[in-house]
Chains A and B, each alone.
Chain A
Amino acid sequence: MANSQAMTSAFKRDILKGFHNLGGTDNPARTVNTSDAYKLALYLASASRGAGDTVYNTTGELAATGNYAAGGNAVTLGTPPTLDGTTAHVTPSASVTWTNLTSSGAFDAALLYNNSHATKYAVSVHTFASQSITAADFTLTMPTSNGTTGLIRIA
């Protein structure tokens, strides 16, 4: 099995149901008008993350050892979703770093999910070359935030 980069199918459904607020306080559709909190969790190269994910779970996640905490690290969403022409996009505004990490194995994927709800709705899976970290930092830096390269896009 392998991890596959994808916007999860469930996310497409869930945004139509109003499950997510990826930033901004200008949302008149919600009683609680604040951004949800999102996290990135890391998954072993042997896992099977992809478009079929619906929620965060620990199957295939790095073990909670070596300075990795189950559930991963928080994501900073500084700039609310916006339009670039006809494409909506949103990108976390800061890198996510696991400090002094010793990973329990080789990993090649990160799952972005909504951590504000008890049901931790999956957003997207992002893959990269397999990495095995030993007593050092692992940093994920986000792409340029625009309609072409933004991390999450609806074109």
Chain B
Amino acid sequence: MALIPIIKLKRNGWPEDEPMAEIEESLLEYSETLIDNEVEHTVVREWRLDGKIVKRGAHVTLKKNVAAEAMAAMFGG
């Protein structure tokens, strides 16, 4: 039996925001979503209760960097 922290938020479809609580993980519906493109490789993990999100985490691996292009110094010419 594993208890995990959850929170019910209005933004996730619950009637009101409720303080964090712990619940038996086996009572929750778990799913993973993968985002893989040129910008990132992301795994989103969601746990739902009665079809509504009570826990949602994400692991983003950045792929796209930021760069400054070559800087040239020239005298004269």
Q: Which residues of A contact B (CB under 8 A)?
A: 5-7, 12, 89, 100-102, 124-129, 131-143, 149-155
Please give the number of chain B residues whose Cβ is less than 8 angstroms from any Cβ of chain A in the complex.
Answer: 32
Whether B66 pairs with A151 at a CB distance below 8 angstroms is: yes
Give Cα A155 to B71, complex, Å.
8
Instruction: State the total of A-B contacts with C-beta under 8 angstroms.
Output: 101
A133 close to B70 (CB less than 8 A): no
CB pairs A–B below 8 angstroms (21 shown): A6-B66, A102-B20, A125-B66, A127-B39, A129-B60, A131-B60, A132-B56, A134-B12, A134-B56, A135-B55, A140-B60, A140-B62, A141-B60, A142-B62, A143-B62, A143-B64, A151-B62, A151-B65, A155-B67, A155-B69, A155-B70
- Contact status of A5 and B57, CB under 8 A, knowing A127-B39, A155-B70: no
